[in-house]
A = this chain, B = another copy of it.
Amino acid sequence: MELFRTNAEINKWRDERWREGKTIGFVPTMGFLHRGHLALMEEAMRRSEQVVVSIFVNPTQFSPGEDLEQYPRDLDRDLKLCHELGVHVVFAPAVEEMYPPGFQTRVEVQHLTQHLCGLYRSDFFSGVTLVVTKLFCLVRPHLAFFGEKDFQQLVVVRRLSKDLNLGVEVIAHPTVRESDGLAMSSRNTYLSEEERRSALSLSLSLLEARKMVAEGELRADVLVQRAEMMIEAEPHTRIQYLQVVDEETMTDLTAVTPAAVMAMAVFVGQARLIDNMRLWPDSS
């Protein structure tokens, strides 16, 4: 496995692979890898001849006052995990390599980002679309792998790749969960034991909504109220948003359709957690 720190290194490697006609799979991460990331990396290994994992805590996707400084980091452990999985390249640039003095370019997906997380984290999506554009251009992968836990991000990045002709097929991977249902997230490390128990209400309320839909309840407001009640019943929780939206457009639905996703962001203690689930029976 090779570890690259500079754009010049990853570009040189990429040009050689393109020359050889190899399929490049790419898993962009902010590190502190958990089983969700590993599942993406395993799928990338299955579907591509060469796999690149990037590890970069991207400052432009954090708003002032968010957890950029506290965000957990453990590069040595991450490298060990990548190596064990057979990843070919880890790209872990310094912030100054990605954003040198004089940097002044923005990339924005306009409409899809005006919903859900985009309403509450003003810099988040423009930071994501900027860094993903840069990483896609640096790595020039054929395939890139994103988890459905960050469901809006997935749709935004797919739109970005298409709109800018980045030439990357964006592959979605189902959310990986702890055995009790909590969606894997590097931010779960922020939770105390008691908060960890409260956080279970996110996935439980999603499962409850799915069950209600399977039993014939299609009214979004009824589903949302029930889910809110379940979450608010737990200590340390504060709902930021909880909505039923169309998975293509991110706009609110009043009644559940086959494209309906229940999506939420909930503070549990200091941790801002997100989760989502398709509601239609038999959808994955």
Q: A110 contacts the other chain (Cβ, under 8 Å)?
A: yes
- Shortest C-beta distance, A17 to chain B (Å), equals 10
- For this complex, into which size category does the number of interface residues on chain A fall? 20 to 34
- Looking across the interface, which residue of chain B has its beta carbon closest to that of A142? B15
Set B11, B105, B112, B167: member contacting A137, Cβ < 8 A: B167
- In the complex, which residues 128-186 of chain A have their Cβ closer than 8 Å to any Cβ of chain B? 129, 133-134, 137-138, 140, 159-160, 163-167
A21→B16 CA distance, assembly (Å): 9
A137 CA / B165 CA spacing, docked (Å): 6
Interface string of A94-117 (1 = CB under 8 A from B): 000000001111111111100000
Q: Are B165 and A138 in contact (CB under 8 A)?
A: yes
Q: Tell me the smallest distance from the CB of A267 to a CB of chain B, in Å.
A: 30
Pairs of residues from A and B, 4 with the lowest C-beta to C-beta distance, nearest first: A105-B163, A137-B165, A104-B110, A18-B18
Q: Contacts of A165 on B, CB cut-off 8 Å?
A: 7, 11, 134, 137-138
B19, B140, B163: which contacts A104 (Cβ < 8 A)? B163
Q: Is the CB–CB distance between B106 and A107 below 8 Å? A: yes
Look across to chain B and name the residue whose beta carbon is closest to the beta carbon of A160: B105
Give the CA-CA distance A105 to B110 in the complex, in Å. Answer: 6
* A15 CB contacts on chain B under 8 angstroms: 18
Q: List the B residue with the shortest CB-CB distance to A163.
A: B105
Interfacial chain B residues near A160, Cβ < 8 Å: 105
20 A-B residue contacts at CB 8 Å?
Answer: A11-B165, A18-B18, A19-B19, A102-B159, A105-B107, A105-B108, A105-B110, A105-B159, A105-B163, A106-B106, A107-B107, A107-B164, A108-B108, A133-B164, A134-B163, A134-B164, A137-B137, A137-B165, A137-B166, A140-B140
Residue of B nearest to A134 (CB): B165
Please, how many angstroms separate the alpha-carbon atoms of A102 and B112 in the complex?
10
Closest approach, in angstroms, between the C-beta of A133 and any C-beta of chain B? Answer: 6
| A18 to B111 alpha-carbon distance, docked (Å) | 35
A103 CB contacts on chain B under 8 angstroms: 163
Q: In the complex, which of the residues B104, B109, B137, B140 contacts A111, with contact meaning CB atoms closer than 8 Å?
A: B104
A11 to B130, alpha carbons, bound, how many Å? 23
Shortest distance in angstroms between A4's beta carbon and chain B's nearest beta carbon?
13
Report the separation of the CA atoms of residues A272 and B282 in the bound assembly, to the nearest whole angstrom.
61
A96 to chain B, nearest CB (A): 13
Residues on the B chain within 8 Å of A140, using CB? 140
Q: Which residues of B lie under 8 Å from residue A18 when comparing CB positions?
A: 15, 18-19
Nearest B residue to A249, CB-CB? B102
Q: Which chain B residues lie closer than 8 Å to A134 at the CB level? A: 163-165
CA distance A102 to B111 in the complex (A): 9
